[in-house]
Amino acid sequence: MQETGRCMLGRMYEGEDCAAARALELVGERWSLLILRDALFRHFTRYSQFQSSLAIAPNILAKRLNTLVEAGIFRTHALETRPGHQEYLLTEMGQSLKPVIIALTRWGDQWVGPGPVEFVHHQCDTEVEHEIRCTVCGDDVALADVQVRLRAVRPVG
């Protein structure tokens, strides 16, 4: 992701053999995460909504939104009611970041101090938890039992 001749985080990770580093290049900048939070949980779609919520400089907001659109996290849609204006809609890629924002917020609640929100199940109004589960046996896995290993065959794409 280029931004006026440089990458968003000050370093390009395209050649990095780490999906976390490459993902951070797309969404790891502070404003990007807050824009995603507002889109995912406040259902903001308009530039003016993000601007009002975040009090971010207009040029920075425009750059971040453009970067997120170029990355495929948002797509734009022209507003029929306001010619020349557009809304920013999350793509499937963008929607899939919801658990990341929940996990980051829960981490912040534990280590930085609880914020004003909690994430609850719509049907029963109780708090949700993010768990790690084995893809084969379906068991919940404790963090201490998670290991990292190289994939035998690298996925294409």
pLDDT digits (tens, 9 = 90+) for 56-76: 999 999 999 999 999 999 999
Provide the 10 A C-beta neighbour count for residue 30. Answer: 10
Q: Tell me the residue type at 28.
A: G
Q: What is the reported pTM? A: 0.80
**C-alpha span between 22 and 2 (Å, rounded):** 13
**Exposed e or buried b for every residue in 1-14, given b needs 16+ CB within 10 A?**
beeeeeebbeeebe
Q: What is the CATH number of domain 2-115?
A: 1.10.10.10
Q: Do residues 72 and 27 make contact, with C-beta atoms less than 8 angstroms apart?
A: no
The pLDDT value given to residue 101:
94
What's the mean per-residue pLDDT of the chain? 87
The pLDDT value given to residue 5:
37
The pLDDT value given to residue 128:
86
Task: Tally the residues of the chain.
Answer: 157
**C-alpha span between 82 and 122 (Å, rounded):** 33
Q: Give the dihedral sign, CA 146/150/155/157.
A: positive
Q: Do residues 134 and 141 make contact, with C-beta atoms less than 8 angstroms apart?
A: yes
